[in-house]
Structure 1
Amino acid sequence: MKRPKLKKASKRVSCSQRYKIQKKVREHHRKLKKEAGKKGVGKRAKKDLGVPNIAPFKEEVLREAEQRKLKVEEEKEKRKKEKIDERAKRKKERDAPRSESENPKAKKARMDTDEKEVSKKSAIKTYTKQFLCSEINTVIDQSDVILEVLDARDPLGYRCPQLEEAVLTRPGNKKLLLVLTKIDLVPQENVEKWIQCLEKEFPVVAFKASTQLVDKTVQEKKRRFPDSLDKSRASLCFGNACLFALLESYQATSKPEGTLKVGVVGFPNVGKSSLVNTMKGIRACNAGVKRGITKTMQDVFIQKNLKLYDSPGIVASPSNPPASMALRSLQVEEGEEKALEAVRTLLKQCDKVQVMLQYNIPDYRNSLEFITLLAKKRGYLMKGGVANMEQSANTFLDDWTGAKLSYHCRVEGLSLPPYLSETVVTENKKGLNLLKLQTGNEATLQGVKYPNKASSISLISKGPTAGLLSPTNVVQKPVPKPREEVKELEVLNRESGPVEDTKDVQKTANKNKNNKVQFQSVPVGTSPNNDTYDFNTDFK
C-alpha cells in the first residue's frame, strides 16, 4: 500500500504473510528435488577408484585401458569427420546449378511454355479473319430469320450492306430484322426518328438488354430470396416481349411443327450476346465491355421451337473511314493500331465543349493532353504520379464502344440502296405481324428512361460500314519498313524535300556515311558585302 507523501509504495508485509511465502517456496523446492531424484538427474557420477596397487599386472591393465580410450576417441573423430564431409557434399549438390534435363522444376516450366505456345498457335490459327467470316456465313446459312443488331447511337454506321445483300440473296426466303439496342443512351426524339426512317426498309425492333444477368446456379439461389433481386436500372430489359411475340407469330405461320432458327449478327460489341442472354433470361453467352469476346458460333435454345445463334463480330473492311474503324473494328485489340491513335480519331469527330462537359475536365489543346487530364481525373497514375496513358485511352474507348457513354447521330433522309427495291422490301415484311411490332415498340419507348439531349454528344454519321464476309476478300496488312530506313527517309526528307525512289535514298545515305565531310568553295566577290571565307585557300 502506498502511503501519502511517499514516492514509492513500501515492500513490507506482515510476518504471517512472509512466513507463508517462505513455506511455499520450501515445499516447491522439495517437490522439484523429489522429482529430479526419481529421474536420476541430480545424482552425482560415481568416482572411478582405479586399479589398486595390490592387483597383479597393474601396468598392463592400465596400458590396455589407455589404448582402449585412444581407440574410442579415434572412432569418435572419424565419425565426426564423416558427418562433416557428408554435410559439405550435400551442400555442394544443393548449390550446384542443375541442367534442364535433371531439374524437374525447369522441365515442368519448359512443358508449360510449350503448351502455351501450342495453344497460342492454335488460337491464332483458329481465330483468324477468314475463320470469323466463315462463322458468320454459317450462321446466315443455318438461320431462317436474321437479326442485324444496330447501336442506337449510330444505327446507320452499324449497318453492313454486304451482310444485308448476302441475306436477301441467299435461298430459302430468309427474313431480315433490324434490332436497335442501347436505346437508353440516346435521346427519345432521336430514337423515334431513327425507327421511322429505318422502317421504310426493314422491320425495326427497339430493344434494351439487361446487363445484370448471372449464370443459372446464381439465378436459382436468387429465386429463394425474392427481396434480394436486383431492381436497378441496369437489370431491367425492354423490347424482350415484343421480339418474343414477333418471332412466335412468324414461327406459327411459317414453321408450325419445326424449330425457328434465328441468327444474331452485327459488328463487335454492339450487343449480340447481351440480346441472347436477355432472351434466355440467364447468362448463356459470354458478354463484356471488351470487344471481340465472341469468337465462334454458339446456339442457345430459348424455347422448344425457338433457337438463337450467337455469332462473332463482322470483320470491318480497311477501306472504311478512320472513325468507323475506331468504333467497329478490332484493330486496337489485335495490335494493328494504338489506343492513342483511336482516341485522337474520335476526338476529331466531337465538339470539344461537349466532351469537356461529359468528362468534367478543363480545356485541352490536343488528344495527348486530354488523355493526361482524364487519367488524373480518374486516378490512373503510375509510380511518381505519372499518368497512365494506355489505361486512360482504353477506358475512353470502352466508354464509346460499351453501354456507358451517351452520344447520338443526326437522322438524315435515306435512299434505298442498290440491292433493295420496293418488291424486296414488301417480300421481306410478309408473314410478320407489323401491327404487334408497332404496339410493342410504343410500349418499349414509353418505359425506357432516356438521357437529356444536352448531356449527349452529337456526331455526324459516316454512313454504312463495309464488312468482309468472304474469306478471299480479307486484305493482309502490308509489312512495315524497318525503323532505321524510316528514320533515314525522315532525315533526308527534312533536308532535301520529298524523295521519290528509296534506292536513290539508300545510295545517298551510304555516300554520306562513307565519305568524309567536304567543304564547298564559295566564289568571293559575288556580292559587295560578302565576308565568307574560302577554305580552299588554306585546306587543299
Structure 2
Amino acid sequence: VCFVELKKASKRVSCAKRFKIQKKVREHNRKLRKVAKKKGISRKPKKDIGVPNSAPFKEEVLREAEQRKQELETLKEQNKIVKQQERAAKRKKEKEAESAGDGPATKKAKKVIEESDVIVEVLDARDPLGCRCPQLEETVLKHEGKKKLLFILNKIDLVPKDNVEKWLQYLEAECPTFLFKASMQIQDRTVQQRKQRGITAVLDHSRAASCFGRDCLLQTLTDLANKKDAETMLKVGVVGFPNVGKSSIINSLKEVRVCHVGVQRGMTRCKQEVHITKRLKMIDSPGIVAASSNPGDVMALRSLQVEEKEESPLEAVRTLLKQCNQQHIMLQYNVPDYRNSLEFLTTFAKKRGFLQKGGVPNTELAAMTFLSDWTGPKLSYHSRAPEHQGLPSYLTDAIVTELRSGLDMDVVRKGNENVKKGVRFPNLASSISFNARGPTAGVLNVSELPKETITITAPTEADEKMDGTVNTEEVLPMRGYESFSNDALHFCHQRQ
C-alpha cells in the first residue's frame, strides 16, 4: 500500500496582490488622518514622562504625592459616610411623614379600597386561609354594600384536585370565589406584539403557557361594568399578600405583560392602573404588610423580612420545616433523613452544588433557594381545609347574600367546573402536607408599624463602587509615579 502525503497549500501571494493590499491600507490610513485633522484630534496621546531621575528634590515630590493620595482616600471615605448619613436621614424623614399620614405608603392599601368598586383578594391555593387578611376584608365590608369583595384562588395547578374542591366549597360559603391559573410565559409588552406573535408564531399550549379561569372572571367583571353608568368605568382593586400572583392575574387578563412579575417577593412597589377593556380597569397594588405578631412560619411566607435582610433565611427555613411532614420533604427534595434544619440545608446545598471556597456548603444560599421554592410557582404543597363552623365576626348571612347579588352564580360555578376539567393537578403523593395557622393579621396603615431603627455603618467596598462620588477634579490618575509629573515640575520651579 502506497501512502501519498498531501502538501499543505502555500500562504504566499503574488507581488501584485501584496502591493495592492499595501496601497489600500495606506489610502485608508491617510483618510483617517485627514478626518482626525479636521476634528482636531491629535494623532497620538502625549506620554506622561513621570518624574525624571535628574529632577531636583525627587524624593520630596514623591513623598508629597503619596501624602496627597492618602488625603484623597480619606476624603473619599468621609464623603461616603456623609452620603450614607444623608440617605439615612432621608429615610427617617420619609418614615415620619408616612407616620403622620402624608406619605403614599400610609394609604397604599386603604387608598386602593377607596378608589375601587370591586375588591379582589388573591389567595394562594396552597395556603388560602393563611393568605386571608381579616383587617382588609373587614375594611371592605364596612362600606355597607357599596363595594363588592371577591376571592381568586390562584396557583391551583400546584395543589391536588380534592384539596382544591374542599377549599372552594369552604370559601364559597363566605364570598364568591373564582378558580384561576395564571399564565407564566407572557413576554409581549404591547398589544401589537401580541397580535404579531399570534400571526407568525406557533401557539404554545404547554402547562406553563396556558391560562385557566380567565373567561369566567372577565365575563363576570364585564357584566358588573355594564350595570354601571355608561360614562363610568368599573375599577377593580387587586389586593393580597406578597407573591400570591396579583400581577400575574392582571397580565393574564390583559394577555400582555403590563405588570412586572418575578419569583422574588415584593416586585410591585407602587400602585398601577391597567385598562383591560373600555369599561373595565384593574388596579395593581403592593403586597399587604404582615403584622409582626404573626407566627414565624406565617412571616416566612407572607412578609418581606428575608428579602429586606431583617430576618435570617436560616431561621425562616427552620420555622417552615416544623410545619411540614418530614417524609414529604425528603421525597420532594430527594434528601436522606435529617435531624434539624441545618443538617437538611447542608445536604440540600451539597446536592444542588452550592459550595463555597474549600468545599464548604453554602447553607444561606440553600435557604434562599428553599424559600423561593415555597413562594414561587413550582413547589406543590397543600394545607387541609377546615370544617366550616360559621361565619367570621365581620360577616353575616345578609352580607353574604349582598356579595352574591349582581353576580350570576351559575356562570361562576360552571366556569370553575371547566377550570377543574382543564387543569392538570398534581398527585397527593407528590405534594407536601403543610399545617396552616389560620388567617394572617395585616397592617393597612404604616403608622401602626414599630419605629425603624436606622444605624450608620462604615462603608464597604461594594458601597464605594456604587456611590463613590469624590470630585474628579481633585482625584489624580494613579499610574505608578508617572501621574505626578505635573506636580513635580511645579514643585521644581518653586524650589528654583
Instruction: State the TM-score, normalized to the length of structure 2.
Output: 0.73
Shift of the alpha carbon at 1:155?
0.7
Distance 2:265 2:319 in 1: 18
Q: 2:240 matched to 1:266?
A: yes
> Are residues 116 and 478 of structure 1, via their aligned partners in 2, closer, same or farther at CA, if it must alter by over 3 Å?
closer
> Are residues 106 and 376 of structure 1, via their aligned partners in 2, closer, same or farther at CA, if it must alter by over 3 Å?
same
Shift of the alpha carbon at 1:257?
3.0
Shift of the alpha carbon at 1:458?
1.2
Higher RCO, Cα 8 Å, sep 6+: 2
Residues 144 and 172 of structure 1 are in contact (CA less than 8 Å); yes or no, is this contact kept in structure 2?
no
SS at match of 1:418: coil
> Are residues 120 and 233 of structure 1, via their aligned partners in 2, closer, same or farther at CA, if it must alter by over 3 Å?
farther
Shift of the alpha carbon at 1:324?
1.2
Residues 262 and 309 of structure 1 are in contact (CA less than 8 Å); yes or no, is this contact kept in structure 2?
yes
Q: Tell me the equivalent position of 2:417.
A: 442
Q: 2:329 matched to 1:355?
A: yes
Q: Tell me the equivalent position of 1:213.
A: 186
What amino acid maps onto 1:354 in structure 2?
H
Q: 2:443 matched to 1:473?
A: no
Q: 2:405 matched to 1:430?
A: yes
The 5 A counterparts of 1:367-516 are: 367-414=341-388, 415-476=390-451
What amino acid maps onto 1:459 in structure 2?
F
Aligned length, in residue pairs = 398
Q: Tell me the equivalent position of 2:11.
A: none
Shift of the alpha carbon at 1:99?
5.7
> Are residues 225 and 246 of structure 1, via their aligned partners in 2, closer, same or farther at CA, if it must alter by over 3 Å?
closer
Shift of the alpha carbon at 1:109?
9.2
Shift of the alpha carbon at 1:447?
0.9
What amino acid maps onto 1:196 in structure 2?
Q
> Are residues 96 and 146 of structure 1, via their aligned partners in 2, closer, same or farther at CA, if it must alter by over 3 Å?
same
Q: Supply the RMSD in Å over aligned alpha carbons.
A: 3.2
What amino acid maps onto 2:322 in structure 1?
K
The 5 A counterparts of 1:77-92 are: 84-85=54-55, 92=62
Shift of the alpha carbon at 1:437?
1.3
Shift of the alpha carbon at 1:89?
9.5
Shift of the alpha carbon at 1:390?
0.7
Q: 2:160 matched to 1:190?
A: no
Matched residues, percent identical?
Answer: 51
> Are residues 82 and 268 of structure 1, via their aligned partners in 2, closer, same or farther at CA, if it must alter by over 3 Å?
closer
> Are residues 378 and 246 of structure 1, via their aligned partners in 2, closer, same or farther at CA, if it must alter by over 3 Å?
same
Q: Tell me the equivalent position of 1:275.
A: 249
Q: 2:115 matched to 1:166?
A: no
> Are residues 244 and 378 of structure 1, via their aligned partners in 2, closer, same or farther at CA, if it must alter by over 3 Å?
same
Residue deviations 1:241-261 (CA, integer Å, cap 9, x gap): 111101000111134331111
- In structure 1, the gaps of 5 or more residues are 1-80, 481-540
- In structure 2, the gaps of 5 or more residues are 1-50, 456-496
Distance 1:176 1:363 in 2: 45
Shift of the alpha carbon at 1:468?
1.1
Q: Tell me the equivalent position of 1:248.
A: 222
SS at match of 2:186: coil
Shift of the alpha carbon at 1:333?
2.0
SS at match of 2:129: coil
What amino acid maps onto 2:358 in structure 1?
G
SS at match of 2:274: strand
What amino acid maps onto 1:98 in structure 2?
R
SS at match of 1:413: coil
Residues 133 and 314 of structure 1 are in contact (CA less than 8 Å); yes or no, is this contact kept in structure 2?
no
Distance 2:291 2:57 in 1: 70
> Are residues 455 and 120 of structure 1, via their aligned partners in 2, closer, same or farther at CA, if it must alter by over 3 Å?
farther
Distance 2:369 2:229 in 1: 46
Residues 88 and 454 of structure 2 are in contact (CA less than 8 Å); yes or no, is this contact kept in structure 1?
no
Shift of the alpha carbon at 1:307?
1.1
Q: Tell me the equivalent position of 2:275.
A: 301
Distance 2:88 2:201 in 1: 45
Instruction: State the TM-score, normalized to the length of structure 1.
Output: 0.67
What amino acid maps onto 1:200 in structure 2?
A
Distance 1:168 1:233 in 2: 37
Q: 2:68 matched to 1:98?
A: yes
Residue deviations 1:375-411 (CA, integer Å, cap 9, x gap): 0111111111100011000111111111111111111
Residues 219 and 282 of structure 1 are in contact (CA less than 8 Å); yes or no, is this contact kept in structure 2?
no
Residues 92 and 454 of structure 2 are in contact (CA less than 8 Å); yes or no, is this contact kept in structure 1?
no
SS at match of 2:55: helix
Residues 301 and 307 of structure 1 are in contact (CA less than 8 Å); yes or no, is this contact kept in structure 2?
yes
Distance 1:478 1:114 in 2: 18
